Structure 1
């Protein structure tokens, strides 16, 4: 069983995923981390990114993330091109991971743009992590060296929270650590019951 977990930037999705790492009967796939690795290791991705965004997209053979982010977060069309290059290869990588871990109770598949890129279609259940926008912006400002305008641009490129929660089986409101941990444990127990 594949459980998608998503949430807008600053919702605290990574914090929740970290809580799930305590459960030894599951496997966790973090799409963004795997995509970053593949963008540096896949010849296919590298060739296409250089063709589309120019040779400056790699510095010393490593992805020049600030350069790329500066292009794609200002231009929805460029973001779409990036996704078209990267997502099919990440999806294939995920399918291999699912096959390798099919003995686990479930696979937690973390993807910030689960709905936006259509990955929700191969999830059996979906968890969305939410938090008020003001808190989300504050969290990102504290975490990244960025501006309010840059954070708002990234929020604009994602589906709004209510649209995500309407299509989710579980919602975790991430405001306090203890409450979030409780919600996470309840969902895990519920999912484990379903799969056994």
Structure 2
């Protein structure tokens, strides 16, 4: 059986990566959601044990992770974020690789929000990507959409956008850039066009 091609799909906050993921799935392609895998493995016994040892017993309440508390800790402390990644990433990437092997479609999409920021991990865990596709909107559109989506003011939206790697800085890493400034229908047409182009490459 011919091995599937693997496309890394990424974006930045409020650029529309989730909308792109939904379109890709609706077109019948396998899509592996790294965030979903991370949410699943966080309840594995060995992961719970390691997180409690490094972040305190009270980070879980009745074996349910206090995501808000953990999120705040790793947002404010890069060393703690590194520790969490060291606990969770081996299992996350192991599952991703297993899903790729099991994949049925000719192109498998791998949805990783911070894909470009974690390229060294992708290399470290021996994960091969044939291409990287970036869902893009300019910064002002990003801020405007984030304000509407999360019902927050401009300053808070700007702070959230500024806390991440700029979507402009991600452009040079992408093999394909899909501009999502217009409608969902336009986004779908662009994705279909890129799929067609990719199959010819």
Paired residues in the alignment total 191
Moved more, 182-191 or 149-158: 149-158
Question: Which residue pairs with 1:140 in the alignment?
Answer: 146
| Aligned equivalents of 2:178, 2:113: Cα separation in 1 | 15
How far did 1:171 drift? 0.5
| Aligned equivalents of 1:184, 1:52: Cα separation in 2 | 42
Instruction: Please list, as runs of the form range in 1=range in 2, the aligned pairs for 1:26-175 lying within 5 A after superposition.
Output: 26-40=29-43, 42-101=44-103, 103-118=104-119, 119=121, 121=123, 122-144=128-150, 151-152=157-158, 154-175=160-181
* 2:139/2:167 contact within 8 Å kept: no
How far did 1:43 drift? 1.6
Aligned Cα root-mean-square deviation (Å): 2.1
Q: Report runs of 4+ in structure 1 exceeding 4 Å deviation.
A: 145-154
| Aligned equivalents of 1:39, 1:151: Cα separation in 2 | 28
Gap regions ≥5 residues in structure 1: none
| Aligned equivalents of 2:168, 2:146: Cα separation in 1 | 20
Change (3 A) 1:157 1:89: farther
| TM norm structure 1 | 0.87
Question: Which residue pairs with 1:185 in the alignment?
Answer: 192
Whether 1:20 aligns to 2:24 is yes
- 1:11 is paired with a residue whose SS is coil
